[in-house]
């Protein structure tokens, strides 16, 4: 006999019959514990129908049931497969379950008519409610689409209008920046030209300083008394001071021009950068104005409205452009004022240098005349000194001859006395002859002494004359050296105006014109001798 809910292969025998059957299954106590099922295996929704796939062998005829404690009633149609109660933990006694358990489980899973009717009514109510909600949704959607379309068109038109206003503002400031940039470029060129003229004049002044210092160095080669702090040295030092002061003024002007050029170029760079940014912004805004809904380059960029890259507002934007233009105008004004100062300074420097140049030349010519007159007087005195030296030398020779003659007389007198000393005995008489000889020797010696004294005096005079001649000759050499230095070194070095800016150069220092009627030119001509 078979029961409902069981397979034909499952045979349930009585206790008397089961005792006669020899069991082929091993004892449950001798079986190993079941391993836990892998996580990837899906458990059977019906635990009581699960086959023994985890044991070491598979029974061919019988199925064993697990020991479970259900958490939910059998009327629920869903079984929690993850609950530990639904998993096989271990095999119990291999006993066949009761035949009534399968039938009882099948009866408890059925629905009642009341449940069926309630489910049907609930479905109808949901259908009616869904239709009403759908109609309301369609009405609200149409109204919302109309409102959003109108609002979107108005917003797009307003955006286009604002972009047009923005383009007008950009075009206005572009014109202002372009005009200011052209003026700044012209001002930079003018200031650079004035700076070049100042640098050229500075090179000329450096040459002028070299000439003045060379004159001072050459005049330091004067000798003895001619190394005097005369008027020429004073005007040369004044010229050097003027040149140094002029160099300082020119360097200051060049530095100011260089700094102003840097400021002008910085303002020009700001104008160019801002003008470039305005041009790019204009191109971008023109592209944005030209975009339509049907344009090819229109895409959807998610979240672009949340990107905050705004660096300014219209007020600060206008103020920044206004500040750039105002700064450029201020720099142009300062540059123009600096060019005027440089021009006036160059004219003043040129005039002062020309005056100092003429003063030095006049002083040199006057000094050359003075030294030439002194040299002529020295030459005349040297001629008289040479004549006196010649006469004194003749006198000395005459004195020496007289002394030599007196010495001959002295030799004769002393020889006489000496030979008379040989007289014998009483013949050695101090007679008149003896006394005369002694007086003669004394007289001759006195004469020789006087002549020698006179000779010494003559020699002293000759030495004085020789020293005077040497001094006069040295002084003549000094005067000739001074004349050579002042005329051949200094005045010849200053005979031409150093090369420099021409009178046609903008803001250049005019070169002094040589006037033949000026004292400096006249003195230069006079010193040609």
Per-residue pLDDT tens over the stretch 273-311: 999 998 998 888 888 888 887 888 777 777 777 777 777
pTM: 0.56
pLDDT of residue 511: 37
Check pLDDT > 50 for residue 524: no
Question: What pLDDT sits at residue 101?
Answer: 59
Tell me how far CA of residue 277 lies from CA of 175, 270, 313, in angstroms: 14, 10, 16
Identify the burial level of 272 via C-beta atoms within 10 angstroms of its C-beta, where 0-12 means exposed, 13-18 middle and 19 or more buried: middle
Given a cut of 80, whether residue 88 has pLDDT beyond it is no
Q: Is residue 351 part of a domain?
A: yes
Amino acid 19: pLDDT: 43
Judge residue 447's burial from the number of C-beta atoms within 10 Å of its C-beta, 0-12 exposed, 13-18 middle, 19 or more buried: middle
Give me the number of domains the chain comprises: 1
In a domain, residue 497? The reply is yes
- pLDDT tier at 246 (50, 70, 90 boundaries)? very high
Query: How far is the CA of 389 from the CAs of 10, 287, 393, 459, in angstroms?
Result: 177, 114, 6, 10
Mean pLDDT computed over 149-171: 88
Q: Calculate mean pLDDT across residues 450-471.
A: 90
Asked if the structure places residue 242 within a domain, the reply is yes
Please name which of 389, 405, 475, 496 lies closest in space to residue 444, comparing C-alpha atoms: 405
Could you give the CA distance from residue 521 to residue 496 in angstroms, rounded to a whole number?
A: 12
Residue 44 lies in a domain: no
Residue 495 DSSP one-character state: S
With vertex at residue 346, the alpha carbon angle to CA 356 and CA 233, rounded to the nearest 5 degrees, is 20
Q: Which range, of 60-74, 321-335, 369-383, 475-489, averages the lowest pLDDT? A: 60-74
CA 160, CA 383: separation in Å to the nearest integer?
A: 114
**191-232: pLDDT as tens digits:** 999 999 999 999 888 888 899 889 899 888 888 888 888 899
CA nearest neighbour of 440 among 429, 432, 452 = 432
Q: Which residue has the higher pLDDT, 339 or 49?
A: 339
* Residue 491 lies in domain: 176-289+314-511
- Spatial separation of the C-alpha atoms in residues 505 and 204, rounded to whole Å: 14
Report yes or no on 147 lying in a domain: no
Higher pLDDT, 431 or 335: 335
Classify residue 268: in a domain, yes or no: yes
Q: What DSSP designation does 220 have? A: T
Q: Domain for residue 141, yes or no?
A: no
Tell me: pLDDT of 247 over 60.
Answer: yes
What is residue 37's predicted lDDT score, i.e. its pLDDT?
42
In angstroms, the CA 199 to CA 188 distance is 16
**CA gap 118, 114 in Å, rounded:** 6
Is 164 inside a domain boundary? no
pLDDT in tens, 495-521: 876 654 433 333 443 333 334 344 334
């Amino acid at each position: 006999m078979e029961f409902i809910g069981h397979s034909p292969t499952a045979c349930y025998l009585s206790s008397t019959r089961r005792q006669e059957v020899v069991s082929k299954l091993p004892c449950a106590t001798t079986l190993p514990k079941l391993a836990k099922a892998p996580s990837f295996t899906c458990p059977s929704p019906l635990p009581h129908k699960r086959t023994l796939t985890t044991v070491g062998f598979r029974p061919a005829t019988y199925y064993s049931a697990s020991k479970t404690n259900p958490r939910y009633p059998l009327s629920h149609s869903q079984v929690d497969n993850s609950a530990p109660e639904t998993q096989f933990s271990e095999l119990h006694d291999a006993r066949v379950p009761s035949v009534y358990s399968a039938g009882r489980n099948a009866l408890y899973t059925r629905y009642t008519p009341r449940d069926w009717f309630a489910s049907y009514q609930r479905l109808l109510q949901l259908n009616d409610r869904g239709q009403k909600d759908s109609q309301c949704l369609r009405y609200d959607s149409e109204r919302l689409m109309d409102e959003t379309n109108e609002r979107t068109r108005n917003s797009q038109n307003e955006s286009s209008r604002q972009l047009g206003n923005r383009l007008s503002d950009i075009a206005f400031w572009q014109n202002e920046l372009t005009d200011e940039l052209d003026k700044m470029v012209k001002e930079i060129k003018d200031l650079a030209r004035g700076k070049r003229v100042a640098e050229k004049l500075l090179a000329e002044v450096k040459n002028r300083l070299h000439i003045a210092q060379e004159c001072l160095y050459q005049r330091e080669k004067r000798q003895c008394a001619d190394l005097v702090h005369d008027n020429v040295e004073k005007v040369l030092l004044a010229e050097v001071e003027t040149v140094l002061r002029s160099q300082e003024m020119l360097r200051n002007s060049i530095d100011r021009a260089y700094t102003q050029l840097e400021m002008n170029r910085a303002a020009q760079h700001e104008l160019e950068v801002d003008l470039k940014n305005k041009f790019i912004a204009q191109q971008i805004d023109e592209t944005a104005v030209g975009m339509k809904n049907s344009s090819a380059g229109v895409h959807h960029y998610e979240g672009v409205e949340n990107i905050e890259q705004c660096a300014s507002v219209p007020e600060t934007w206008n103020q920044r452009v206004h500040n750039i233009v105002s700064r450029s105008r201020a720099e142009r004004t300062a540059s123009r004022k600096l060019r005027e100062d440089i021009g006036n300074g160059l004219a003043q420097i040129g005039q002062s240098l020309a005056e100092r140049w003429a003063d030095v030349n006049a002083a040199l010519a006057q000094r050359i005349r003075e030294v030439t007159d002194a040299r002529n007087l020295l030459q005349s005195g040297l001629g008289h000194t040479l004549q006196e030296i010649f006469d004194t030398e003749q006198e000395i020779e005459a004195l020496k001859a007289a002394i030599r003659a007196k010495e001959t007389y002295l030799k004769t007198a002393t020889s006489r006395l000496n030979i008379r000393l040989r007289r014998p005995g009483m013949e050695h008489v101090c007679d008149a002859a003896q006394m005369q000889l002694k007086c003669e020797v004394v007289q001759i010696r006195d004469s020789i002494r006087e002549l020698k004294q006179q000779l010494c005096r003559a020699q002293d005079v000759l030495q004085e004359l020789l020293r005077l001649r040497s001094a006069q000759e040295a002084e003549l050499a000094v005067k000739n050296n001074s004349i050579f230095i002042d005329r051949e070194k200094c005045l010849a070095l200053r005979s031409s105006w150093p090369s420099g800016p021409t009178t046609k150069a903008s803001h250049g220092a005019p070169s002094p014109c040589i006037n033949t009627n000026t004292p400096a030119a006249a003195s230069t001509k006079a010193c040609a001798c």
